């Protein structure tokens, strides 16, 4: 749930309140109890990328190398399709 900042136009009371996006805005100030409380639009909770970036660290490396195939077993027991060394 997002955090919204509210300010009272009457007494100047400011609060940060966590509420659902679908919830109605609060209008009554809990301090002075007048209907002058309104939601303030701020840029404090903006989306910020820090560091070297996810593209450089996660995607720019290319495809991972495939693991080398195991050499075929030289025992006679592997000729039937099952290898006792594979376990």
61 within domain boundaries: no
Nearest 5°: CA angle at 2, between 33 and 8? Answer: 25
What are 79's two structure tokens?
């000729």
84 within domain boundaries: no
What are 41's two structure tokens?
């639009």
CATH code for the domain of 25 = 2.20.28
22 within domain boundaries: yes
12 within domain boundaries: yes
74 within domain boundaries: no
Tally of structural domains, the chain: 1
pTM value > 0.85: no
Digit-coded pLDDT (tens) for 65-81: 666 666 666 665 666 56
By residue range, what is the domain housing residue 35? Answer: 3-45
27 within domain boundaries: yes
39 within domain boundaries: yes
3-state secondary structure labels for all residues of the chain: CCEEEEEECCCCCEEEEECCCCCCCCCCCCCCCCCCEEEECCCCCCCCCCCCCHHHHHHCCCCCCCCCCCCCCCCHHHHHCCCHHHC
Digit-coded pLDDT (tens) for 22-56: 999 999 999 999 999 999 987 666 666 666 666 65
């Amino acid at each position: 749930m997002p955090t919204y900042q509210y300010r009272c136009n009457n007494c100047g009371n400011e609060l940060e309140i966590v509420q659902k996006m679908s919830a109605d805005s609060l209008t009554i100030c809990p301090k002075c109890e007048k209907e002058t409380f309104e939601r303030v639009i701020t840029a404090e909770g903006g989306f910020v990328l820090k560091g070297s970036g996810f593209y450089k660290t996660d995607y720019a490396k290319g495809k991972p190398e495939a693991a080398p195939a195991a050499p075929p077993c030289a025992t006679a027991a592997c000729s039937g399709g099952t290898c006792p060394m594979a376990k």
